[in-house]
Amino acid sequence: MSTLTLRHVAIDTYKENVAYLHRDCKLYHSEGFQALNKIEIHTHDGDASIIAVLNVVDDDCITTPDELGLCEQAFEQLGGKAGIPVRIAHAKVPGSLKAVHRKIAGDRLGFEDYRAIARDIAANRYSKIEIAAFLVACTEIGLERDEVLHLTRSMIETGKRLDWGEPLVVDKHCIGGIPGNRTTMLVVPIVAAHGMLVPKTSSRAITSPAGTADTMEVLSQVELSPDQLHKIVRAERACLAWGGTAGLAPVDDILISVERPLLMDSPGQLVASILAKKLAAGATHLIIDIPIGPTAKVRSRSSALVLRKLFEYVGDHLGLNLEVVLTDGRQPVGRGIGPVLEARDVMQVLENDPLAPIDLREKSLQLAGRILEFDPDVRGGRGYALARDILESGRALTKMQAIIDAQGRNSGPPGVGRFCHEVAATESGHITAIDNRQLAHIARLAGAPMDKGAGVDLHKKLGDSVEVGELLYCIYAEFPADFEFARDSAQQNSGFTTGDSYVDKVP
């Protein structure tokens, strides 16, 4: 068989293997590859092989007729050696795609099916459209809770799994959707100050105005090597870093790369995704925060309960000590929305500043209290008071400073954005609703999370009384264009609703 020379094509295709073959390549014509969507590529020694979607190139600068080009991730997967001889073949359909077709037809799948699917996805044998087919089939028919368990287990099995060598490794996770909800940066120092092991890694914001990693980055470095991360965790019992999940449940990352652009978010996928990542990261005890509210991800107590049961079922069967807390998701938590503003809120709470936002403080104490009660030596019901003691005594602040120093303190953190626009009330009365989505949207338009100082600073919250012309919130931005976008959006819809009276009814 003829061979081609492997070439690195410096294109990042976002979690899809793409191969580039020149239109004049002899193999392209003689082997009928032009009718195909996918090919299999083998190194000449037969040691490695990958599957890739085929793109056809008409420019020798990208790939010559004697070469096979691979996008960055595919090139790495095949071993990352340019110039070696490779063979190409028609890709076989991944064996587990039959199970996907059975799911499309309405069947319930078993553990062997999910394991086969996860293995094929982990080996990059699925193209993005095949992944989309799997996800839609799971959403449409729905997953039985046993199927969610199988999927979770399969996602863990197909990746690395960390072992911290301790019986109690705690973590927390919020299912998201509430701007300003930076409880992690308070919970972690509180429970670490108590001595619990909490190796916390967080994501950056994808569709929200700030993630924990973005906000922590205002104060310290967050991009740490696995070695640094382990050293810091051993020394401080905690970290507040970005990522660190490379190789953990890699199937989850691949599924998310398709779920996100599809705006899909089914309960089964959500639970499997969160629990697979946490278990692979070595967590033994986990608190899940599910905020409920009309503009939160979960809108009613009943759907929150369904989700809670699913978390509990899968967690229990995988030996994870898991507690689900349903929280108030009717409005943003704290005052700031955006990295710098949220970091300010967090530090105010840690410093016991009388101006600190009460709701952020209270929610963090509640969650930290629940985690502290995972400690067999903490009496049931005493967690909250213990968390409050740790916070008020300044021990949480000391721990936070130690974590910041260990990760690498940022000298002179950035301030708020140069441009400021005040949004004022147009009617008098009480604030009866605050739209999480619209405020997140305005903060993102203003530049958050890319511009650390951009965002929204709230001056009124639910139930507050307000007069015409009184300040509702400030928008901060770094750049004029962003500033205008955000201001225009706030003018169209401030996100605030005012009424005659407000009845406080926690959902």
Please state the closest distance from residue 436 (CB atom) to a copy of itself, in A: 19
One-character DSSP codes across 269-287: HHHHHHHHHHHHTT-SEEE
Binding mask 433-472 for a copy of itself (x = CB under 8 A): -----------x-----x----------------------
Q: Which residue's CB is nearer to a copy of itself, number 141 or number 433?
A: 141
Smallest gap from Cβ 344 to a copy of itself, in A, equals 22
DSSP-based three-state secondary structure for 212:
helix
What residues from 175 to 214 belong to the interface with a copy of itself (CB under 8 A)?
Answer: 205-207
d(CA 134, CA 154): 15
Using the contact rule CB under 8 A, the part of the chain among 124-132, 221-229, 347-355, 493-501 near a copy of itself is 124-132
Nearer to a copy of itself, 29 or 309 (CB): 29
Determine phi and psi for 194, rounding to 5 degrees: -80, -10
60 is catalytic: no
Residues from 287 through 326 that contact a copy of itself (CB under 8 A): none
- Whether a cis peptide bond, with omega within 30° of 0, leads into 449 is yes
Q: Which amino acid is at 210?
A: A
Binding of a copy of itself by 127 (CB under 8 A): yes
Q: Which is nearer to a copy of itself, 397 or 440 (CB)?
A: 440
Q: Regarding beta strands 38-43 and 67-70, do their DSSP bridges make them parallel or antiparallel, or are they unpaired? A: unpaired
Judged by CB under 8 A, which of 108, 128, 230, 317 binds a copy of itself?
128
Instruction: Report the distance separating Cα 270 and Cα 286, nearest Å.
Output: 15
Q: CB of residue 42 vs a copy of itself: minimum separation in angstroms?
A: 15
Q: Which of 180, 297, 307, 318 is nearest to 249 (CA)?
A: 318
Kindly tell me which residue out of 30, 411, 492, 501 binds a copy of itself, with binding defined by CB under 8 A.
30
Shortest CB 321 distance to a copy of itself, Å? 33
Min separation Cβ 128 and a copy of itself, Å: 5
HSE of 280 in the Cβ direction (CA atoms, 13 Å)? 26
Would you say 250 or 449 has its CB closer to a copy of itself? 449
Q: Which is nearer to a copy of itself, 206 or 246 (CB)?
A: 206
Please name the residue ranges forming H helices in 123-210: 128-141, 145-157, 184-193
d(CA 212, CA 294): 23
The residue among 73 and 364 lying less far from a copy of itself, judged by its C-beta, is: 73
Residue 20 contacts a copy of itself per CB under 8 A: yes
Q: Which stretch binds a copy of itself (CB under 8 A): 121-129, 160-168, 172-180, 354-362?
A: 121-129
Q: Which helix (H) or strand (E) covers residue 247, if one does?
A: none
Give CA angle at 466 (462, 470), nearest 5°: 120
Tell me which H or E stretch contains 348.
helix 339-350
End-to-end CA gap in the chain = 67
Q: State which of residues 3, 5, 11, 119 lies at the interface with a copy of itself (CB under 8 A).
A: 11
Tell the residue number behind the tokens 């009866």, with chain if given.
432
For residues 332 to 371, the per-residue mask of contacts with a copy of itself, x marking binding by CB under 8 A and - elsewhere, is ----------------------------------------
DSSP label of 169 = B
Q: How far apart are CA 507 and CA 311, in angstroms?
A: 20
User: Between residues 10 and 503, which has the closer beta carbon with respect to a copy of itself?
Assistant: 10
Helical H segments across 318-394, by residue range: 339-350, 358-372, 383-392
How many residues make up the chain in this entry? 507
Residue 496 binds to a copy of itself (criterion: CB under 8 A): no
- Complex with a copy of itself: residue 127 or 284, whichever CB lies closer: 127
Site string for a copy of itself, 32-71 (x = CB under 8 A): x--x-xx---------------xxxxxx-xx--------x
Residues in region 225-264 near a copy of itself by CB under 8 A: 258, 260-264
For a copy of itself (CB under 8 A), the number of binding residues is 58
| DSSP type of residue 450 | T
Distance from C-alpha of 476 to C-alpha of 454, rounded to nearest angstrom:
5
| Non-local CB neighbours of 76 within 8 Å, separated by 6+ positions | none
CB atoms near residue 8 (< 10 Å): 16
Q: Does 420 bind a copy of itself (CB under 8 A)?
A: no
Max CA distance (Å), the chain: 81
Active-site option among 66, 265, 375, 464:
265
- Segment near a copy of itself (CB under 8 A); pick from 101-109, 295-303, 363-371, 490-498: 101-109
Tell which one of 137, 190, 314, 360 touches a copy of itself (CB under 8 A).
137
Name beta bridge partners: 201: 241
88 binds a copy of itself (CB under 8 A): no
Place of tokens 């990760």: 407
- DSSP class of residue 78 equals T
Active-site residue set:
265
Binding site for a copy of itself (CB under 8 A): 1, 9-14, 20, 23, 29-32, 35, 37-38, 54-59, 61-62, 71-72, 93, 97, 101, 104-106, 127-133, 135-137, 139-141, 205-207, 258, 260-264, 444, 450, 479, 481
